[in-house]
Amino acid sequence: MMIRNIWCVGRNYADHAKELGNEVPSKPLIFLKAGSSATVNSNIIEIPYWAEEVHHEVELALKLSSHLHVIEGALALDLTERKVQAEAKKAGLPWTLAKSFDGACPISSFFMMKKLDDFKDRSIKLWVNDELKQEGRTSQMIFGFEQLVDHIKTYFPVCQGDLILTGTPAGVGPLRAGDIVRAEFEGEMTHTWKVQWQKKPTEE
Ligand code: ZN
């Protein structure tokens, strides 16, 4: 399955904004992950060899289908190289490498989301090695589904097949080789991944 643009919203759960020392935004903070960083319905997360501190961020992904309506959703991991991101933030530089490396957006398979109202108070959770790390409810989002979709459609050239990642609740943290990551969107989807780290290429 081809994923085109991945529009992400930062700091959409107040408790996560606080844990990274960020202010709660007054309008959506949108950034991009490359569509080609998505891996759909794989059970492996492959981390690039150069990455040192890759954090999990579990999020609900909305998929824009025909007529740019949301009719499907999925679990997504907005993987983030936190060290690279912190350095970029400090220097006032873009976050692209921290958010858009190869494999930075693992996605589960898709489930139907025809009536958005049915999904406005569901839990989203993530476990690492059976330890609950992240937990939130979609009702805690600062900007709700319609607001986010409207905002992104207003300002950006959205396409059919694009994803919107709706933000992560608190509890983000680093992944290690061999970790088993399980994510759940209440009543719809669970997905499990095993973390692998690429070996550094040897020089000829
Ligand atoms: Zn995120």
Give a three-class secondary structure readout of 83-119: HHHHHHHHHCCCCHHHHCCCCCEEECCCEECCCHHHH
Is residue 14 a part of any domain in this protein?
Answer: yes
Is residue 202 a part of any domain in this protein?
Answer: no
pTM of the model: 0.94
Is residue 183 a part of any domain in this protein?
Answer: yes
Ligand 1 center to 112 CA (angstroms): 22
Is residue 96 a part of any domain in this protein?
Answer: yes
Is residue 203 a part of any domain in this protein?
Answer: no
Ligand 1 center to 144 CA (angstroms): 15
Any idea what the CATH number is for the domain that residue 158 is in?
3.90.850.10
Q: What's residue 63's pLDDT?
A: 96
The mean predicted confidence, pLDDT, of the chain is: 94
Is residue 121 a part of any domain in this protein?
Answer: yes
Ligand 1 center to 118 CA (angstroms): 23
Ligand 1 center to 204 CA (angstroms): 38
Binned at pLDDT 50, 70 and 90, residue 22 comes out as: confident
Ligand 1 center to 66 CA (angstroms): 25
Determine the structural domain holding residue 65 and report its residue range. 5-197
Ligand 1 center to 166 CA (angstroms): 8
| Helix extents (H) in the chain | 14-19, 82-91, 96-99, 145-155
Is residue 33 a part of any domain in this protein?
Answer: yes
Binned at pLDDT 50, 70 and 90, residue 1 comes out as: low
- Look up residue 166 and give its amino acid: T
Ligand 1 center to 114 CA (angstroms): 24
Q: Quick one: what percent of the chain has pLDDT higher than 70? A: 99
Is residue 109 a part of any domain in this protein?
Answer: yes
Q: How many domains does the chain have?
A: 1
Give the mean model confidence (pLDDT) for residues 180-195.
98
